[in-house]
Chain A
Amino acid sequence: MELKDLLNDYGLVGVISTYKFTLDEDQKVEDLNIKNIDKALKMVNLKEEVKDKYLKDLSLDELFKIDLINKLDKEIIIVGNLSNCLNYKDRDFIKKLLLKLVNNYHKKIIVIDNDVKVFFNLVKVVVVVNGKDILYETKDFYDDNLYKYTSSPKIIELVKYLNKEGRNIQKTTDIYELIKDIYRRVS
């Protein structure tokens, strides 16, 4: 299956890879001519003053958000570096926004990151690519083969470790579900 087919099926696809911003950092935000910029800035929780800043002076979270709103009118939106650029509150906020763009506005979004945790509660399918070719594709965050290409999130490592030791913990990506299960097993 091709990436385009996966996007048609799921709307949102996670890609394990490194993402580089392609914006020219020597220009100002207002020079990007983002459509309905005031509304777009509000949507990503940025203040209007950002418009006067040079891209090279933006913090990483601002750069991520500008990169996103700069692509809102594209057929396929490609964003990346959530794990590098955003703190956890912003990560949750942006994940909800991306889901809204797919579910309510029928956008197709590719999220590129090396941190699988970013894809929890966001994508139904994760792929590893080499150029345009899909090297590996999975819907299971507990799939060992996925971690040949990137690091495993700690929650997955811990659950696998405990189950190897015979503790019979349910596979989850939610820390609260894990705690409930541990509580049931040890009480």
Chain B
Amino acid sequence: MTSDMTIISTNLNKNILKNYSDYNIITTEFTYDDLLKYSKVIFYNVLNNKREEEIKDLFNYLKEHHIAFINVTNNEEQVLLTDYLIIYGKEKILIEGPTLEVLKQEKLLKRLGIALPFMVELSLLLQDYGLIKDIYLDYKSLEDALWN
């Protein structure tokens, strides 16, 4: 397991955090300087109002400063910002693994009520139509695969 990961849940509850008692939990607005005090942080549903680029910058900053982090969120797009993903349901881990491997279990995730990130869902559907063969996370690669 890597130290940086995303947790998404069928019903997000703070009880999940009991499993990560060695992490400092961030639930309100913070500054980058605040984070330097810690070696491990959990962002509990606190990054959802930030733009994707801001979150990427934040995660890069944490990596540069060797601060381990977990992003607990209900936002399916954010799962692509870390390489490891854990899916919780009723406070138990249901699935975990490298993010894209977990996301390929599309039918199970949908049954659990977990949405796929848009580009993953679109890629899988376009695969069903026989139009592409891989999952593309950026627009240019998808366009190249479709039209070239």
Chain A residues within CB distance 8 Å of chain B: 18, 58-62, 83-90, 114-115, 151, 153-155, 157-158, 161-162, 165, 167, 175-176, 178-179, 182-183, 186
Contacts and interface: CB of A to CB of B under 8 A. Distances in A.
4 residue pairs, one from A and one from B, having the closest CB atoms: A88-B115, A154-B118, A87-B113, A89-B113
Contacts of B112: 87
B30 interface: no
B31 interface: no
Nearest to A85: B74
B51 A179 contact: no
Given A83-B48, A84-B48, A84-B74, A61 B11 contact: yes
B19 to A, nearest CB: 15
A5 B54 CA distance: 35
A167 B147 contact: yes
Interface of B: 9-13, 45, 48-49, 51-52, 74-77, 112-115, 117-119, 121-122, 125-126, 129, 131, 139-140, 142-143, 146-147
Given A60-B12, A84-B75, A176-B125, 11 more contacts: A18-B49, A85-B12, A85-B74, A87-B9, A87-B11, A87-B115, A154-B118, A158-B142, A175-B118, A179-B125, A186-B146
Contacts, number: 81
A117 B21 CA distance: 34
Contact of A186 (B13, B74, B75, B131): B131
B59 to A, nearest CB: 16
Contact of A151 (B12, B52, B122): B52
Contacts of A62: 11
Contacts of A175: 118, 121-122, 125
B143 A87 contact: no
Nearest to A183: B129
Contacts of B126: 179, 182
A89 B111 CA distance: 9
Contacts of A153: 118
A151 B118 CA distance: 14
A25 B143 CA distance: 48
A114 B49 contact: yes
A50 B125 CA distance: 38
Contacts of B48: 83-84, 114-115
Contacts of A182: 126, 131, 146
18 contacts: A18-B49, A59-B13, A61-B11, A61-B12, A83-B75, A86-B74, A87-B113, A87-B114, A88-B114, A151-B51, A158-B122, A158-B142, A175-B118, A175-B121, A175-B125, A178-B122, A182-B126, A182-B131
